[in-house]
Structure 1
Amino acid sequence: MDDSLKFKETVLKYDYSYGTGISAYADDRISIQWNEYGEYKPVFMNEAGTETAGSDIPLSLIDPMMDESLNETEVGKELFGQLPDVKFHTRLGYYKDLYAGYVEEGNYRAQASSGGLGTWILKELFEKDLIDGVIHVKENNDPNNPALFHYDISRSIEEINQGAKTKYYPVEMSQVLQKIKETPGRYAIIGLPAYIFSVRLLARQDPVINERIKYAIGLICGHLKSARFADSIGWQLGFKPGDIKKIDFRKKLDHRPAHRYGVQVTGVINGETKTIIKPMKEIVGDNWGQGFFKVKASDYTDDVMNETADMTIGDAWLPEYTGESKGTNVLLVRHPEIAQIIKDGIADQKLRLDEIDSTKMIASQASHFRHTQDELGYRLWMRDKDSDWRPKKRIEASNKLPYIRKKIQDQREKLAKESHIHFKKAVDKDDLTYFTDQMAPLVKKYEQYYSYAYYMNQGIGTLAKKIARKIKS
């Protein structure tokens, strides 16, 4: 089968594309477009496998969902396996140093979603003349493009700082990669695991990209969201879909724990521009475990720690760090030059970091590891049971999961799928209540399953049986 046709008949047909834009960059027959649910998806502009232009880069080698591509462990070994003092952990990948802390220098921490280390390290690379530009996600100011954010290139400290903050929003890289190919220079890129890994696979096939992207900074994130996540938040604050101008998904709230952050939206209500802040816990769909507006491909990765990045940054979801509102990062370092910059930053008191061990690092992302690695086998088994094509992963398909955890997985899948469908209908009806009413019983069932799982873990058998009977009734 033709390489592009195989891509179409597997990844696209069964909806396993992350929407990174890598395929559109590599193959002239593909464009990356919004679908009806606010997700970026590759679209063939004519039939795959025809005689038209295309690319010399096989899609099967650069898309992480294709069976022919290398996996994260294999690419990580190529990049980091021969470094001195490198360690390997099946959960974390290769690494040199592990930390938890934040940036002491300037206002990097205040302007960040968490501890400020992502923007700070990009600034350091730029100031030390190790890069000429940063490829990162910024606000989209193009009035002809409805997307709130896009990948762009920053070439100054001021521009780099504008890319601070987490954006739970779909972006694609085809256009910015084309700019990199057309413009010589040394670049750093920052992104989620699917994006960094896709760039690493592309770099193995494209010598120009390989030569120009010098550093990859990785973020930890539970899953990708569609653009409807932002629309839903905005609508609940009074902004109709399409009327949002800006959104801050991680607004720090003074005197509240780090995980009790807010959301800030600016947009138009009845012809008047307004800015509204609300605690995220008051938003329907705030629970990350429920997976509202989740992109399907996110459920079929086994990479929690962005294993092919030179440095990985996440939130320190640990009790000793979540008590105050300013935010704290966990940090995993692989690249020796970045490792030295971090050590110098600690010595110069620009950074306040604690060394942690692998157990503590894994604990900081415990729920993520459970869903992404421990319970992935069940999701793969379900696809095999249904005789559906699915990507080959490092985790083996397995039905060996406790009953209640299976029910939680099934309900998460239903919540994600139904959130896309019901929100679109709500927009068509111009009725937000339709969406919240349709999702409420699904959320209630999810919460019942979680309560049952909690009591089972506590060993309170009688109460657990009572809840189980209620669930089945």
Structure 2
Amino acid sequence: MTIDLIVKNNLCTGCGVCISEDQSHQAKMIWNNEGFLVPSLGKSSTQDKMIKVCPFAIQQKNEDELGELFLKLPETQYHDKIGYYYGLYAGYSKQFRETSSSGGIATYVFNALLEQKIVDYLFIVKEVDGQYAYQFFSNVEEITQISKTRYTPVTLEKLFQELSKVDGKVAVSGVACFVKAIRLKQMYDPVLKEKIAFIVGIICGGLKSKYYTDYLAQEAGCKNEYNYAQYRVKNKESYALDYKFSCIEKSDKKIHMVDMQSLGDMWGTGLFKSNACDFCDDVLTELADISLGDAWIDPYDKNGLGNSIIITRTKIAENLIKNGLNKNLLALDVMNTEKIILSQNGSFNHRHKGLAFRVMKVNKEGKLTPRKRNKHMVNQNLLFNFVQNSRLKTRQKSLDYWLETRNHLKFKIKMKPYLENLKFFTLWNHRLIKLKKILLSKKDA
């Protein structure tokens, strides 16, 4: 498999780490027609070097193999779905919760990493002139500027281009595929283990096209150019899922908002999602030092200010959390493995249970897929496969129809039959699951 094949088979999530391995320095990241960042190669680009760090290449080590290499220690625990870990928690940061997404734990961790001199710089996504991009950051006083959720493509391309110029250690945040690419880079260049001293894993429901934001902006009422998109405007009087999207229209400087719940399920349907995400089986960013995500589980999802689940995977991460508890900076509960998995149940159902069908379907079409862990390649019932097939169509049609219409009203009309079809199969699959549980309980009785 080559970088060319990764791009042609729609398996690139735009991490950009491969650019640093191009010895010709001709490769660069560009926008493709579906609104995702992908590598553009030069005539002399060294693809044999570049493919070594691609998280979706067939020849790569998997997350279990890399986890054993980077995280396995005598004191760490291991779970088949969670990976290697020290501690499991849920809760929030008392200082950063109101100004951050979820429970503000990521902002607490970033702040602690700088204050305690564990790292000298953060390489994280922050707003620059109304746009989001990875930037080096070292100012503790401005820490709240980096505390918002962004559902728009970004790339690590700049990290390894500028890392050698940075004097000191760096912490990086990223979703699972970005984290895996960094670990692959560190595997081939062990010096980077010291330089990139800490990785914050952001638990991801799937990467969205840049057109997702355009759709939300139109739904909010921004008919012309806009900026300052905010994806998670909280309602502290309500519950965690009750949040809004907002943007500012450039022409009149007015803030426009839309209630996200009024738009339906933007995640379970796969709308505007990257194809590559359907071939990722790392739900909980297994290779990071610490993994953070929304606590979609009772009672944590009942609070509009948000709560986070936290998985510490290294001693440094565990000490950061324990120190925050000892200083009364964090309000956390200790969790068990079952609750952590339940908090991301939808993602596990899709990523793991539907994986075997998606790989089979795509391979039958003559397309390539990454090498996945056998433990997640489990065949499911026919109705569940209908759900997966319908979701694959819905995902692709959302990108096709947006490119065709560029209008939120026309888009919704065209998408309606696909969404209704997906809803139908999902409903009957849920009923089948419920029936099986009833029959099982009667049998046990």
- Within the candidate set 339, 343, 347, 1:368 is matched to 347
User: Residue in 1 aligned with 2:357?
Assistant: 378
* Superposition map of 1:32-431 within 5 A: 32-46=29-43, 52=44, 54=46, 58-82=49-73, 84-104=74-94, 106=95, 108-141=96-129, 148-240=131-223, 243-268=225-250, 271-283=251-263, 286-395=265-374, 400-427=379-406, 431=407
Instruction: Kindly state the Cα deviation for residue 334 of structure 1 after the two structures are TM-superposed.
Output: 1.1
Structure 1: where are the runs of 5+ without partners? 1-5, 47-51, 143-147, 462-473
Alignment CA distance shift 1:338-1:398 (3 Å): closer
CA contact (8 A) 1:345 1:351 kept: yes
Instruction: Kindly state the Cα deviation for residue 395 of structure 1 after the two structures are TM-superposed.
Output: 3.5
Instruction: Kindly state the Cα deviation for residue 228 of structure 1 after the two structures are TM-superposed.
Output: 0.5
TM-score (normalised: structure 2): 0.93
Whole-angstrom distance in 2 between the partners of 1:116 and 1:8:
36
State the identity as a percent. 27
* Superposition map of 1:439-450 within 5 A: 439-450=415-426
CA contact (8 A) 1:380 1:397 kept: no
Whole-angstrom distance in 1 between the partners of 2:58 and 2:309:
32
Instruction: Kindly state the Cα deviation for residue 67 of structure 1 after the two structures are TM-superposed.
Output: 1.9
Whole-angstrom distance in 2 between the partners of 1:244 and 1:266:
5
Whole-angstrom distance in 2 between the partners of 1:460 and 1:379:
24
CA contact (8 A) 2:242 2:260 kept: yes
CA contact (8 A) 2:171 2:199 kept: yes
Instruction: Kindly state the Cα deviation for residue 8 of structure 1 after the two structures are TM-superposed.
Output: 3.6
Runs ≥4 in structure 1, deviation > 4 angstroms? 396-399
CA contact (8 A) 2:186 2:193 kept: yes
Whole-angstrom distance in 1 between the partners of 2:3 and 2:111:
40
SS at match of 2:193: helix
Whole-angstrom distance in 2 between the partners of 1:279 and 1:448:
24
CA contact (8 A) 1:181 1:209 kept: no
Whole-angstrom distance in 1 between the partners of 2:184 and 2:93:
31
Instruction: Kindly state the Cα deviation for residue 397 of structure 1 after the two structures are TM-superposed.
Output: 8.5
SS at match of 1:253: coil
Alignment CA distance shift 1:44-1:425 (3 Å): same
TM-score (normalised: structure 1): 0.88
User: Residue in 1 aligned with 2:441?
Assistant: none
Asked if 1:456 corresponds to 2:432, the answer is yes
CA contact (8 A) 1:21 1:172 kept: yes
CA contact (8 A) 1:381 1:398 kept: no
Instruction: Kindly state the Cα deviation for residue 405 of structure 1 after the two structures are TM-superposed.
Output: 1.1
CA contact (8 A) 2:88 2:337 kept: yes
Q: Deviations over 1:42-82 (max 9, x none)?
A: 11132xxxxx3648x82232111112221111111111112
- Within the candidate set 420, 432, 435, 2:408 is matched to 432
Whole-angstrom distance in 2 between the partners of 1:320 and 1:399:
31
Whole-angstrom distance in 2 between the partners of 1:138 and 1:170:
13
Q: Deviations over 1:133-164 (max 9, x none)?
A: 1010011328xxxxx31111111113432111
CA contact (8 A) 2:220 2:245 kept: no
Alignment CA distance shift 1:211-1:340 (3 Å): closer
Tell me which amino acid in the other structure corresponds to 1:282.
S
CA contact (8 A) 1:102 1:116 kept: yes
Q: Deviations over 1:308-359 (max 9, x none)?
A: 1000001111111111211111100011022112112112111111111111
Tell me which amino acid in the other structure corresponds to 1:426.
T
CA contact (8 A) 1:302 1:395 kept: no
Instruction: Kindly state the Cα deviation for residue 457 of structure 1 after the two structures are TM-superposed.
Output: 2.4
Alignment CA distance shift 1:326-1:398 (3 Å): closer
Alignment CA distance shift 1:44-1:53 (3 Å): closer
Whole-angstrom distance in 2 between the partners of 1:140 and 1:40:
18
CA contact (8 A) 2:58 2:369 kept: no
CA contact (8 A) 1:16 1:65 kept: yes
Structure 2: where are the runs of 5+ without partners? 438-445
